[in-house]
């Protein structure tokens, strides 16, 4: 069960996700974009853990991160100055 399916099962609408960009500007994500963003962040967490444990070198981490960006095409995840942890699911 994906995150969007879980949200729907809890009665949370998942057509789009809003992210407040400041000054009343918001960016909306489709369900597909939301899933890609989440999958990218999970994979990034895994490779970050491997790097931290010394199981990946820094260059392997960087190459893998590029591959993850190409695979998942995250909307925000590859921008270091944007946090989406406060995103909310909206109608």
Q: Is residue 46 part of a domain?
A: yes
Its pTM stands at 0.60
Domain count, the chain: 1
Using the predicted structure, report yes or no on whether residue 24 has a pLDDT greater than 90. no
| pLDDT tens for each residue of 30-88 | 889 889 988 999 999 999 999 999 999 999 999 999 999 999 998 876 665 544 444 43
Q: What is the pLDDT of residue 57?
A: 97
SS3 73: coil
Query: Which H/E stretch holds residue 89?
Result: strand 88-90
* Residues with Cβ within 8 Å of residue 78, at least 6 apart in sequence: 40, 65, 69
In a domain, residue 50? The reply is yes
d(CA 74, CA 44): 11
26: helix, coil or strand?
Answer: strand
Backbone angles phi, psi at 60, to 5 degrees: -65, -40
Residue 65, domain extent? 29-81
| Within-domain flag for 60 | yes
Question: Does the residue 89 lie in any domain?
Answer: no
């Amino acid at each position: 069960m994906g995150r969007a399916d879980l949200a729907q099962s809890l009665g949370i609408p998942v057509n789009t996700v809003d992210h407040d960009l400041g000054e009343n500007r918001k960016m909306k994500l489709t369900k597909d974009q939301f899933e890609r963003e989440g999958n990218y962040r999970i994979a990034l967490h895994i490779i970050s853990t491997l790097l931290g444990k010394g199981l990946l070198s820094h260059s392997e981490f960087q190459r893998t991160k590029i591959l993850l960006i190409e695979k998942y095409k995250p909307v925000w995840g590859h921008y270091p100055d944007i946090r989406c942890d406060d995103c909310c699911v909206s109608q």
